[in-house]
């Protein structure tokens, strides 16, 4: 009898997240700064009344928020536990060691640095630790889903290093034959695997062999899939790569921070690699760590170690599959024809990504415009949109809700099908400004917005995460 009662309560909590809904009051800010208070209230309402489909965004627990807003922000802590440049860091040392120990256990690695301010600084620190200026680096092309810091021409990484870019094939999978050819030809010091908009599982094992064949370090940037790896729904890179970088938000559902891990394989290649990483962060590229973020990381790592997080990760992938399949059945064109993870890329037609982004934002579905492989337009006015399921899964939604959301997206695509950017690039900003205003008055858009609002309020932002 007790078992049955317990099971019923658990089921109710998952299907009725409104019981756990929370609202930050900002009472002190309200007293001291009414202008900022109104802005915070407006953003809180925007998040509550819309659905976040950007795959790099998520919702943190109240415990993470508490750590982020704690007195730890008062303390300066340049250096590392046991070797600080400032006094009064006894408790800070314990907190940082706790975060490091938890993440090492979570991913099964012997070394971790939790001080990077974000993912890009973490990646830059890897360059500093492993390369000299001018060394050759191989990374995934931005239009093919890669990240700016993997050697894209607009990034500082391309200014300081000789960067070579690999691509995906017509089917959307990484072109391993091209990677092999480029590695053999250019003999890179460093090879990146990982991306910001890649919808398939990463071939860590295959790329590990490529890196070994030319004596390169292989770095896995798992910023997008860290939580999926922890949940067991994406292969782990730990056995195949030397270094791992990641952000701690996105699918890991923690604060906005970064971390670097070194694997046993990496330490076997260079026993001093962990020491080099530490020095590349402090004093190489950063000052004191953000201690409130370190504490919030520790909270998130503990949350991610629980069985509930594995259930969450599995649901993220199930939801992404349901969303993708419904879009495809409705006639939408997805890059690579689907997804293996939490995100998907929708081809909206040449240069139409911004148009569709604005229209979806108007109805309360937040996505981001994004380049697609062989992008026919420009990064500023790309042809795709990127969408994913981490945030809406945190709100308790399942595959039934994904089908609803997909049908709204299909309706918006149909409403905007005749819209296109002016050929003259100088006219595009004005066109989008007018479009943003005009689309608000479309009666079909208004109807979808009302439906999205209803679903948003049925699944409010939760206090306790499941």
247 is catalytic: yes
Q: Which of 144, 221, 303, 357 is catalytic?
A: 221
250 is catalytic: yes
Q: Which of 149, 245, 246, 247 is catalytic?
A: 247
Q: Which of 37, 76, 117, 431 is catalytic?
A: 76
Q: Which of 256, 269, 404, 440 is catalytic?
A: 256
221 is catalytic: yes
Q: Which of 100, 200, 250, 386 is catalytic?
A: 250
Structure tokens, 326: 């419904």
Q: Which 3-state string (H, E, C) describes the chain? A: CHHHHHHHHHHHHHHCHHHHECCCCCHHHHHHCHHHHHHHHHHHHHHHHCEECCCCCCCCCHHHHHHHCCHHHHCCCCEECCEECCCCCHHHHHHHHHHHHHHHHHHCCCEEECCCCCHHHHHHHHHHHHCCCCCEEEEECHHHCCCHHHCCCCCHHHHHCEEEEECECCCCCECHHHHHHHHHHHCCCEEEECCCCCCCCCCHHHHHHHHHHHCCEEEEECCCCHHHHHHCCCCCCCCCCCEEEEECCHHHCCCCCEEEEECHHHHHHCCCHHHHHHHHHCCCCCCCCCHHHHHHHHHHHHHHCCHHHHHHHHHHHHHHHHHHHHHHHCCCEEHHHCCCCCEEEEECCCCCHHHHHHHHHHHCEECEEECCCCCCCCCCCCCEEEEECHHHHHCCCCHHHHHHHHHHHHHHHHHCCCCCCCCCHHHHHHHHHHHHHHHHHCHHHHHHHHHHHHHHHHCCCECCCC
Q: Which of 49, 57, 78, 175 is catalytic?
A: 78
209 is catalytic: no
Q: Please identify every residue annotated as catalytic.
A: 76, 78, 221, 247, 250, 256
């Amino acid at each position: 009898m007790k078992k049955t009662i317990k099971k019923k309560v658990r089921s109710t909590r998952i299907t009725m997240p409104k019981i756990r809904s929370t609202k930050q009051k900002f009472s002190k800010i309200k007293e001291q700064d009414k202008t900022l208070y109104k802005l915070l209230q407006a953003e809180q309402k925007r998040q509550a009344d819309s659905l976040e489909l950007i795959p790099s965004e998520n919702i943190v627990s109240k415990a993470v928020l508490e750590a982020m807003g704690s007195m730890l922000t008062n303390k300066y802590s340049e250096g590392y536990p046991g070797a600080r440049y400032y006094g009064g860091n006894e408790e800070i040392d314990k907190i940082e060691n706790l975060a490091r120990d938890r993440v090492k256990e979570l991913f099964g690695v012997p070394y971790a640095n939790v001080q990077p301010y974000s993912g890009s600084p973490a990646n830059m620190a890897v360059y500093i630790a492993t390369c000299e200026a001018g060394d050759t680096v191989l990374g995934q092309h931005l239009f093919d889903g890669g990240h700016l810091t993997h050697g894209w021409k607009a990034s500082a990484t391309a200014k300081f290093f000789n960067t070579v870019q690999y691509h995906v094939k017509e089917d959307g999978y990484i072109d391993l034959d091209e990677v092999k050819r480029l590695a053999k030809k250019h003999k890179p010091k460093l090879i990146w695997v990982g991306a910001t908009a890649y919808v398939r599982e990463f071939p860590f094992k295959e790329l590990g062999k490529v890196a070994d064949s030319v004596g390169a370090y292989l770095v896995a940037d798992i910023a997008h899939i860290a939580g999926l790896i922890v949940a067991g729904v994406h292969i782990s890179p730990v056995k195949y790569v030397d270094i791992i970088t990641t952000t701690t938000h996105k699918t890991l559902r923690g604060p906005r921070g970064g971390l670097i891990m070194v694997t046993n394989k990496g330490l076997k290649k260079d026993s001093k690699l962990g020491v080099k990483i530490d020095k590349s962060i402090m004093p190489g590229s950063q000052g004191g760590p953000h201690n409130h973020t370190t504490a919030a990381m520790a909270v998130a790592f503990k949350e991610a170690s629980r069985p509930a997080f594995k259930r969450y990760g599995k649901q993220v992938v199930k939801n992404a599959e349901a969303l993708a399949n419904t879009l495809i059945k409705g006639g939408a064109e997805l890059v690579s024809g689907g997804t293996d993870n939490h995100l998907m890329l929708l081809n909206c037609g040449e240069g139409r990504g911004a148009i569709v982004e604005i229209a979806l934002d108007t109805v309360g579905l937040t996505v981001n415009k994004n380049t697609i492989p062989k992008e026919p337009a420009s990064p500023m006015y790309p042809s795709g949109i990127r969408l994913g399921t981490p945030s809406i899964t945190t709100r308790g939604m399942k595959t039934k809700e994904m089908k609803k959301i997909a049908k709204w997206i299909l309706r918006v695509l149909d409403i905007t099908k005749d819209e296109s950017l002016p050929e003259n690039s100088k006219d595009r900003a004005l066109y989008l400004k007018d479009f943003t205003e005009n689309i608000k008055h479309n009666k079909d858009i208004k109807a979808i917005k009302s439906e999205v609002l209803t679903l948003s309020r049925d699944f409010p932002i939760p206090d306790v995460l499941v």
